[in-house]
């Protein structure tokens, strides 16, 4: 199994705090059936700045530690890039890590509460360069929570979206669990990833999430998500299912306040 979003590098963001934490996460990943992880520390989010060369070095160092302990997990350097107006320039200056070696896919994080007004124009510019933005954890963005249909135009114009396993199995509360299921049903998310930060409150939950997808949507949908992750990781083209709207969530009144303090598991 491939995990395309994970904060396993020690001491670089709000993920693993120490090497010991990273090793514990690696062991947990293996127990979940994960063999390959794209490490994705936060970049340009106003708090953390994880430059390309630093992430590459940190990934190599952690891989050496894993190998020396016989932990059979392969790491690849990446970034969870907060959307910003300098992104195109940073890409042109080779300062951004992509999901794949072909530099076709990049992980893009929206601010927690909104979608910036320039997103459509930026995504268009990325598309002109042959780059596909992957919107990470849309189910935890307040504007999408309030009206999931705002995600539809981005997907229709070629963007992809990544659902977090923890969201789908209820770690962040029932409302986000329900929204996650509706995003799957509406073909508005295309890959499943852990966004794991530790082994406790924000763990992997990948095995459980895939089992739940198979139970609720069938084996073909499970395989669709698995195949998409593999294709994106390899830099291959992905042919997503046509999206539809999720209008029945427009009147949701609950908010994302203190989201990460909510725990149902």
Structure confidence at residue 201 (pLDDT): 86
- Identify the pLDDT of residue 258: 42
Give the integer Cα–Cα distance in Å for 208 and 231.
22
pLDDT at residue 208, as a whole number: 98
pLDDT the model gives residue 151: 97
Nearest CA-CA partner of 198 in 23, 3, 35: 23
Q: pLDDT value at position 255? A: 47
In this structure, are residues 82 and 46 in contact, taking their beta carbons and an 8 Å threshold? yes
Cα within 13 Å of Cα(157), Cβ side: 18
C-alpha 210/C-alpha 224 separation (Å) is: 11
> Can you tell me which residue has the tokens 């909510």?
262
| Cβ proximity of 252 and 145 under 8 Å | yes
Contact criterion met (CB below 8 Å) for 126 and 98: no
Which pLDDT value is given to residue 261?
Answer: 40
The Cα–Cα gap between 112 and 255 comes to 11
CATH among 3.20.20.140, 3.40.50.300, 3.40.718.10, 3.30.920.30 for 80-261: 3.20.20.140
Q: What is the DSSP secondary structure assignment for residue 83, as one 8-state letter?
A: P
Residue 2: HSE in the Cβ half-sphere, 13 Å Cα cutoff: 17
Residues whose CB falls within 8 Å of the CB of residue 66, separated by 6 or more in sequence, listed in order: 23, 26, 73, 75
In DSSP notation, 188-248 reads ---EEE--B-SSSTT---HHHHHHHHHHHH-HHHHHHHHHHHHHHHHT----PPPP---GG
Full-model pTM: 0.93
Residues of the chain where predicted confidence (pLDDT) is lower than 50: 249-265
Per-residue pLDDT at 256: 45
Between CA 265 and CA 259 the distance in angstroms is 14
**Domain ranges (residues) in the chain:** 80-261
Please tell me the distance from the alpha carbon of residue 204 to that of residue 202, in angstroms, as a whole number: 7
Q: Are 11 and 50 in contact (CB under 8 A)?
A: no
């Amino acid at each position: 199994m491939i995990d395309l979003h994970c904060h396993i590098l020690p001491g670089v963001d709000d993920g693993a705090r120490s090497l010991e934490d990273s090793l514990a996460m690696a062991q947990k990943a293996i127990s979940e059936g994960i063999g390959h992880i794209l490490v994705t520390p936060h970049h340009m989010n106003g708090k953390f700045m994880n430059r390309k060369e630093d992430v590459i070095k940190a990934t190599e160092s952690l891989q050496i530690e894993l190998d020396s302990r016989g932990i059979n997990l392969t790491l690849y350097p990446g970034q969870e890039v907060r959307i910003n107006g300098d992104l195109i320039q940073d890409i042109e200056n080779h300062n951004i890590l992509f999901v794949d070696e072909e530099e076709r896919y990049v992980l893009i994080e929206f601010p927690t509460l909104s979608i910036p007004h320039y997103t459509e124009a930026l995504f268009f510019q990325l598309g002109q360069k042959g780059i596909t933005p992957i919107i990470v954890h849309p189910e935890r963005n307040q504007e999408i929570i309030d009206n999931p249909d705002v995600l539809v135009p981005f997907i229709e114009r070629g963007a992809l979206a990544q659902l977090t396993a923890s969201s789908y199995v209820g770690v962040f509360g029932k409302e986000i669990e329900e929204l996650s299921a509706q995003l799957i049903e509406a073909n508005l998310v295309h890959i499943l990833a852990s966004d794991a930060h530790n082994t406790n409150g924000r763990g992997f939950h990948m095995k459980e999430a895939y089992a739940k997808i198979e139970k609720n949507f069938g084996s073909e949908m499970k395989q669709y998500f698995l195949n998409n992750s593999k294709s994106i990781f390899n830099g291959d083209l992905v042919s997503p299912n046509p999206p539809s709207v999720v209008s029945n969530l427009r009147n949701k009144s609950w908010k994302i306040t203190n989201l990460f303090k909510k725990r149902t598991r």
